[in-house]
């Protein structure tokens, strides 16, 4: 009996050629299905419009705002939330940030930067959402300890 290993191997090669012809994505894996956006909690809630066309007045540094986390400067357009510290029930800052979920929020960071943000997810240490940068929304994560003040509208 004659065994044709050459043609047998050639038939298997054709199967592998078909696999190699498929378009591969990064890392040699097949690309994701179409219409799949960013993954993660809160990623699907990107705002559909630009933020308000004004910049809120920066918070004044007075004793009332620098006091306990529950002392808030209430104004006509929103609430300033100042530097907070963890309380007995957990992180007060993350609890206050949850009130701003899916709302336009203005951030003042300790490093002096300030910008519009649209938070979509908050946990004990980070807030994630969309930052208004170069006239478009970009996904961003910010450590809550970097935020000096924030004000939601």
pLDDT digits (tens, 9 = 90+) for 2-61: 666 666 555 555 555 554 555 555 556 555 544 444 555 555 789 999 999 999 988 776
Q: Is the pLDDT of residue 109 over 50?
A: yes
Distance from C-alpha of 93 to C-alpha of 84, rounded to nearest angstrom: 6
Answer with the residue of higher pLDDT: 101 or 81.
101
Q: Which of 144, 58, 17, 140 is nearest to 93 (CA)?
A: 144
Q: Which of 20-34, 63-77, 128-142 has the highest mean pLDDT?
A: 128-142
Q: What pLDDT is stored for residue 145 in this prediction? A: 93
Radius of gyration for the chain, computed over Cα atoms and rounded to the nearest angstrom: 26
Q: What pLDDT is stored for residue 100 in this prediction? A: 96
Q: Is the pLDDT of residue 88 over 50?
A: no
Q: Which of 33-47, 64-78, 121-135 has the highest mean pLDDT?
A: 121-135
Q: What secondary structure, in 3-state letters, does the chain show? A: CCCCHHHHHHHHHHHHHHHHHCCCCHHHCCCCCCCCCCCCCCCCCCCCCCCCCCCCCCCCCCHHHHCCCCCCEECCCCEEECCCCCECCECHHHHHHHCCCCCCEEEEECCCCEEEEEEEEECCCEEEEEEEECCEEEEEEEEHHHEEEEEEC
Q: What pLDDT is stored for residue 45 in this prediction? A: 83
Half-sphere exposure of 101 (CA within 13 A, CB side): 17
- The answer to which of 8-22, 57-71, 77-91, 129-143 has the lowest mean pLDDT is 77-91
pLDDT band at 120 (very low <50, low <70, confident <90, very high): very high
**Which residue segments constitute the domains of the chain, with CATH numbers given?**
36-45+57-152 (2.30.30)
**Residue located via tokens 């649209």:** 118
- Residues 67-76 have a mean pLDDT of 42
């Amino acid at each position: 009996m004659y065994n044709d290993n050459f043609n047998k191997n050639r038939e298997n090669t054709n199967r592998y050629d078909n696999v190699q012809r498929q378009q591969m994505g990064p890392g040699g894996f097949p690309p994701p299905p179409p219409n799949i956006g960013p993954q993660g909690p809160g990623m699907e809630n990107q705002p559909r419009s630009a933020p308000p066309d004004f910049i809120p007045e920066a918070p004044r540094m007075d004793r009332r705002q620098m006091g306990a986390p529950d002392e808030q400067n209430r104004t006509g357009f929103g609430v300033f939330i100042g530097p907070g510290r963890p309380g007995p029930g957990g992180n007060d800052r993350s609890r206050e940030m949850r009130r701003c979920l899916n709302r336009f929020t203005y951030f003042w960071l300790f490093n002096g930067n300030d910008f519009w943000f649209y938070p979509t997810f908050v946990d004990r240490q980070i807030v994630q959402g969309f930052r208004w940068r170069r006239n478009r929304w970009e996904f961003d994560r910010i450590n809550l300890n970097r935020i000096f003040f924030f004000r939601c509208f």
